[in-house]
Amino acid sequence: MSTARDAPADADPRRWHVLAVCLAAGFITTLDVSIVNVALPPIEDSLDASPTQLQLVVAGYTLAFGLALVPAGRLGDAGARRRLFIIGLVGFALMSLASGLAPTGTLLGVARLLQGVSAGLLNPQVVGLIQQQFSGFDRGRAFGMFGATIGVSTALGPVLGGLLIAAAGSAEGWRWVFLVNIPVIAVMLPFAWRLVPPPDRARGTVPRHLDPVGLVLLALVTVAVMLPFVTTTGVDDDPARWWSLAVAAVLGVVAASWERGYQRRTGAAVLDPGVIGRRSFRNGALLGMVYFAGFTGVFLVVTLYLQDELGYTPLQAGLVSTPFAAASGVSAWFSGRAVARWGRRIVVAGLVLVLVGVLASDLVVRTLGGEPGVVGPVLAVTLLVAGAGSGFVIAPNQTLTLSEVPVASAGVAGSMLQVGQRVGSAVGISVIVSVYYGGIAGGDAAALATGRALLVTAGLVVAALVVGLVDLRSRGAKASSP
């Protein structure tokens, strides 16, 4: 676990103000993962966007987000944390403006890619600052707040998007889904400039070697893994895209070989054995990747079903997910305090609750799909159960995964954890949406196609639960060993 030496900034009374800025940055970047879900039909109508362009708007953001994480984390650990935080904020605002003013689907997709890069610059600095500013019980509380922010922003995105579209009109209201970020960042920037600590306040060892070759190889592997999934629309997809996974496997072997040699020569490889070699980190990163694969896709497929098949407005569809957001926020808040006492057990319990909520949602769609006025309110209840469980998964898993990571490696470790989450999100969204659209194209009823997509989500949650149980057992064995 961390020591007082790992986080000497705890005496700084401004650390909670720094956390507030970090939470705001985390909120807007994760909000933009899901807020566009309810805007896809209006974007399609307004810009005559193709399925590929729409997929780029959704998954292209995730791809670029994941691509920028590890280099940004490495540079942040090397002393550029404050600079990258400010650059990321400004870039996110500019690309939000470009997205909101985009005249074509292609330009919107490009702006979303660059917006994702800006988010990827920001998020490693958030995790690194939390590791740097807090230790012990306070670190658990801080990550609990961060987990609550991620859960609430992801689940609240559809309802905020629905409100904006309802207020500004369906024709052009989707533009405010992006433009709303600008006033938020305008308020944040002065506080970030004043509060985010400069490099000379960062403690720990600054890497002398940045391992640029390793960074490029990891970026190429990330792109090769995610590309076939973010380009999957479920309609007339080119089967040749899956060859990208073979390229990823080859690049992965090359990257692993390079990193081993670089570590022997310099002791400063990006894939630091001191981080990767920790079982707590490996298990937590795998659990997070699998869980995000299921968790993120739920809102998209439910929103598509409610809007496209049952005639719900964007606002009505968004409101169905509000109980998930509320329950997730409350449970994540409490999990920050409980993780120090219960450890991995609280994550396992949370996954069980999520599984119950998802299976109940599947049952609701299959049995009440013919009653539009009933299915939405009942789905809100089942999603509330899933949300309560989700709050006990994301924040505690982040705390437990990074608990043994030195502060000097906090940025890149947090980046690797988030890369797994972004890859999981891209894969999960691709598979779940493909199951949904594939079922519709094959003549299945919308309720049946949605139910199958939710069963895929349930399967992914079960896989995360298995990883959690394995990690729980290994931690118990470690604790009982002499």
For 360, the token pair is 């109940």
pLDDT, one tens digit per residue, over 218-274 is 889 888 888 887 777 666 677 888 899 999 999 999 998 998 888 888 877 777 776
Domain covering 10-197+209-474, topology: Growth Hormone; Chain: A; (1.20.1250)
Q: Which two tokens stand for residue 123?
A: 């998020």
CA distances from residue 310 to 127, 400, 416, 435 in whole angstroms, order as listed: 40, 41, 39, 18
Rounded to whole angstroms, the Cα distance separating 113 from 52 reads 14
pLDDT at 309: 82
pLDDT at 204 over 70: no
* pLDDT at residue 170 in the model: 77
pLDDT of residue 121: 92
| 101-135 pLDDT tens trace | 999 989 999 999 999 999 999 988 988 888 888 87
Q: What is the mean pLDDT of residues 340-368?
A: 91
pLDDT at 237: 73
pLDDT exceeds cutoff 50 at 1:
no
Measured between its terminal Cα atoms, the distance across the chain in Å is: 18
Which two tokens mark 87? Answer: 């650059």
pLDDT at residue 7, as a whole number: 43
Structure tokens at 218: 């990891």
Per-residue pLDDT band at 152 (split at 50, 70, 90): confident
